[in-house]
Structures are given as C-alpha cells and as structure tokens.
Structure 1
Amino acid sequence: MTATLPVDVIAAELARLRAMNPLVHLLTNEVVQEITANVLLAAGASPAMIVAEEEVSSFAAISGALLVNVGTLYPARLAAMKQAVAAANRAGVPWTLDPVAVGVLDYRTQACREFLACKPTAIRGNASEIMALAGCAGSGRGVDTTTESEAAVEAAEGLARTTGAVVAVTGETDFITDGTTTWATPWGHPVMTRVVGSGCALSALVAAFTAQAPNRLHAVAAACAVAGLCGERAAAMSRGPGSFKVEFLDALYLLTPEKLREQVA
C-alpha cells in the first residue's frame, strides 16, 4: 500500500532547496549536460560539471551533493566517478546513482553493481533499470523501459533495504521508497518522454534535493513531485517537445510553494 506524497512535504522541500541553493557536482550523461544544468538553475540549485580525474575528488568533497549518471560511460569517466564517490563518502556528501541502461549492457551493469557497495544516498531509474539492479527480471531497450513502474515497487523496496539508499522508480507514476515507507507521486505528462534528458535531469534534481536533507525520503520524493507537476504545467502550455522544454524550465523557475499548493489542490 502506498500513499500520495503530501503537498505540504513538497512545498517544504522546495522552500528548503531554494533557501540553500546547493552546489551540485554532476558527472552525467554527455548528451544531456545543457538541459541538466538549466533544470538545476531554474529549480534553485547551482550545477557544476567537473570531470577531470585530477579535480573530481577535490570538488566532490566541497559540493552539496554529487550525481553519478552512467549514460555515456567509458573507462576514463568511470575512473573519475569512482574517485568522486570515494571523496564524497569521506566528506559525508550525499550522492545519487542514475543506472542508465543497466541490465541491457554488461559494462555499465557491472559498474553500477559495484557502485551499490559504495552506499549511494539515492538511486533513480526506470522500472527496468531498478529491477535489473535488484536482480529481478525486467525488460528494457537501452534507456527506455517496457515495464510499468508499479511492477518494480517490490524490487525498489528490496533494493532500498539492501543498500540503505532511497530508491525512486519513475514512470507514469513515480514510487519512492526507503524500504519501509513508499510514497507515490502521480504527476507528469507523456510528452516528458519525448524530450532528451528529462530523466537524467530528474536524477540531478534528486541529487540537489538530498543536499543537507533532514529527511532524505521526503527530499527524493519531493524532487520527483516537483518535476512531475512542472511537466504537467509545461505540457498544458506547449505545442510539442520543443516548446515543452522551454515551458518546463519556466515552470520550474516560477514555481513557488504557494503555486504548488494551488496546483495540487
């Protein structure tokens, strides 16, 4: 049994993010860097993409949060990611794992399974990716999933219990769990799947919300809710994927706790 995340939690987490303006270290998919940076700026965080092995450890340690997204993974990037994760853990910096296409390709699947031992703060993926990480059978096509998010809730809860991470399995409805409590965020719009980087940008938003979060489950769930609510508003204002991207950034920038309550009411 899951319940919809209360609007008061979303509003409080959004206000906390805006007040903090956390610095977020993004080791992300090279295809989506522009939209990811703009999403964080619009939401109220500060993105930075430091990728050189000579710099990642120092920068991860002074960041508010770290994102590791394996979308465009290759040996040098993987080495930098491992160094950044180790530095973040030493400094107590929360980090989020986005296991793009895990379960489809062996190289990234093995890398992400090794990352699980490094105790990510949060994991955000689609149903197929979360089921693959949890060792369950799923179906996917690279970054796409052919499994409904609800079918992966049990796998997500198990993965959360074994890793200690807050796990978000995203889809038509997002489910966010710490292995004991599971929240649903039922907002969003299908056009979001037609814009490259919307999922990766959500993972960056998840990382941003975890910075100094007193309740990491609430933080991750609120990030999913904010993205979904802004997706709904942007879809209503746009004519297709191109204008949606602009409207989505504007919706994030203009969102306030008060407007959020009005939209959910």
Structure 2
Amino acid sequence: MMNYNLVDELRVKNPLVHNITNIVVANDSANGLLAIGASPFMSSTLAEMEEVASIADAVVLNLGTLNDEQLAAMIRVGKKANELGKPVVIDPVGVGATKYRKEAVKELLNQVKPALIRGNAGEIAALGGITWAAKGVDAGEGSGDILEIAEKVALDTQSYIAVSGVIDTITDGKKTYLVKNGTPYFTKMTGAGCLHGCVCGAFLAVDETHSLESIALASTMYALAGEIVAKQLPNVLVGSFRTYLLDQLSGIDSELVKEKGRIERVDGK
C-alpha cells in the first residue's frame, strides 16, 4: 500500500542524505534534496566515511566521475551504513561503458549491500549481463524486455531496482510498480537520473521499513514534478526546466501526488 504521507513527512523529518556523487551533478543533487525537505551531506573524504555513515539517514553512491579514491570511500561508507542498518542507494552510472566501471561496480556490490540500485535501461542491462547498445552514460537502445531484465537483476543482487525511462520500473524481482508520469525533458537535463537516486534515498530514509513502495512513491513524485513543469513551458527550454523543477519539488505535496500520480502495480513473471 502506498503511503503518500511520506511526501509530507520527509519535510518534517528532514533526513540527512550522504552523497558521494560526481562533479557534474553535485550542485543539482544537493539543491534537489533541499527542495524536497532533506539535508544533503557531500563528502568523499576517506578518513571521515565511517563517522559520516553514523550520522546519515541514508547513503547515495553515484559512480558518474569515478576514481580509485572515491571507490575506496564508497566501500568504506557503504559497509558502515550496512552495519548500522542505514539504506544505501547505488547509481552505477555508465557501468557498461568501460571495463574499469564494470570492475568497480562488481567490487562495490561484492562489499556493499544496497537497498536500491537505480539506473537507466542500459546500466541495468549491463548489470544483468544483457547486450545493450548504451552510449556512454546514456540509456542507449536494446531489444530486451526491461521489466524482465530489472526483475532478474533484483533477484540476482537481492536489491530493489529502479529503472528510469519513459515509464519508470521499480521492482524487487517479484513485485513491480510502473510509474507512468514524466517528461522527455529529463533526458535533456544532465543529472536528472542522479537526482532521482537522491530522492529515492531520502524516501528510504524516512520510511522505517525501507519498502519498495517508498521508492515507487519517490519516483512518482519526482516524475510528476517534471511533468508539471514541462506542461508549463512553451517549448524546449532546458535551463528553465532545471530551475522550475527545483521550484516544483519544493512545493509538491502528498495530496497532489495522490491525485496526479500514475502508478501501476504488476506481478513478476
């Protein structure tokens, strides 16, 4: 059952979300978290990772501009968060693009148990060992059934999977939610998917059960905010979309998400 009140509870509880993220999106990720009512903490300093994990309510690890030092910090903070029962979100940006990224994600997943892995179709397909014509960090194109791929990766990793796209797919391998809100503007904004992962982390932080439904709700709220903004713009204005998305996220509430959200539940195969 969807607990729409989490949208409002998040602003009251103000969870601290620790991010190790990439240099391209750090500012948008931090401001997006502030807009929905969370507090961002942005650090990849190895020496403070265990201490940071102890004060954070959730940890989001984004591999967009990955290096060896950052990977070491991710492993340390992720392991400590696991130990403390804090939810970890992993965003394997461009995992299928290079051998280095594939090996880094493999090492990270070997040592850290994520509550959620969030990515685009190409990234999730790469995790599942499925051939997919991804282009760098973009989703690319493939002929596989993304629902089946997401379910497979969820079962293989024993983690929730969120695949962003025209329709967002959120699954634990057996139960799946399809989020049908959204806008093509997201694909024109660098870091839109990365912010999606941050929003999911914040919702997991305020949901004591760390449920699949909290991720579906986070995805719906985020997709709906973008959809509303896109309808207000006369034509393709990417800079305006970025600014107004933050404005919309700062004002959206549970009643609007409940009224306008389009979520469909489907059973696993």
Q: One-letter code of the match for 1:91?
A: L
Query: What is the SS of the residue equivalent to 2:52?
Result: helix
Question: Residue 135 of structure 1 aligns with which residue?
Answer: 129
Asked whether the 8 Å contact 1:100–1:143 carries over to 2, the reply is: yes
C-alpha distance in structure 1 between counterparts of 2:255 and 2:212, whole Å: 22
C-alpha distance in structure 2 between counterparts of 1:155 and 1:196, whole Å: 25
Question: CA 1:225–1:42 in 2, change beyond 3 Å: closer, same or farther?
Answer: same
Q: CA deviation at 1:61?
A: 2.1
C-alpha distance in structure 2 between counterparts of 1:11 and 1:127, whole Å: 27
Unaligned runs of 5+ in 1: 1-7
Question: Residue 260 of structure 1 aligns with which residue?
Answer: 257
TM-score, length basis structure 1: 0.92
How large is the Cα RMSD of the aligned pairs? 1.7
User: For residues 224-235 of structure 1, what are the structure 2 equivalents within 5 Å?
Assistant: 224-235=219-230
TM-score, length basis structure 2: 0.91
Asked whether the 8 Å contact 2:133–2:141 carries over to 1, the reply is: yes
Q: CA deviation at 1:70?
A: 0.4
Q: CA deviation at 1:208?
A: 1.0
Query: What is the SS of the residue equivalent to 2:96?
Result: coil
Larger CA deviation: 11-20 vs 237-246? 11-20
Query: What is the SS of the residue equivalent to 1:184?
Result: strand
User: For residues 132-171 of structure 1, what are the structure 2 equivalents within 5 Å?
Assistant: 132-147=126-141, 151-171=145-165
C-alpha distance in structure 2 between counterparts of 1:21 and 1:142, whole Å: 35
Query: What is the SS of the residue equivalent to 1:136?
Result: coil
C-alpha distance in structure 1 between counterparts of 2:212 and 2:144, whole Å: 18
Q: CA deviation at 1:114?
A: 2.1
Q: Pick from 188, 195, 202: which aligns with 2:189?
A: 195
Asked whether the 8 Å contact 1:127–1:151 carries over to 2, the reply is: no
Matching of residue 110 in structure 1 with residue 94 in structure 2: no
Runs of 4+ with deviation above 6 angstroms: none
Q: One-letter code of the match for 2:46?
A: E
User: For residues 43-192 of structure 1, what are the structure 2 equivalents within 5 Å?
Assistant: 43-117=36-110, 118-147=112-141, 151-192=145-186
C-alpha distance in structure 1 between counterparts of 2:91 and 2:223, whole Å: 18
Asked whether the 8 Å contact 1:149–1:169 carries over to 2, the reply is: no
Question: Residue 3 of structure 1 aligns with which residue?
Answer: none
Asked whether the 8 Å contact 1:148–1:171 carries over to 2, the reply is: no
Q: Give the helix-richer structure, 1 or 2.
A: 1
Q: One-letter code of the match for 1:189?
A: T
Asked whether the 8 Å contact 1:175–1:183 carries over to 2, the reply is: yes
Q: Percent identity?
A: 39
C-alpha distance in structure 2 between counterparts of 1:148 and 1:217, whole Å: 26
Deviations 1:154-213 (A, max 9, x none): 111111112221100110000000111000001111011111111111111111111152
Query: What is the SS of the residue equivalent to 2:61?
Result: strand
Question: Residue 267 of structure 2 aligns with which residue?
Answer: none
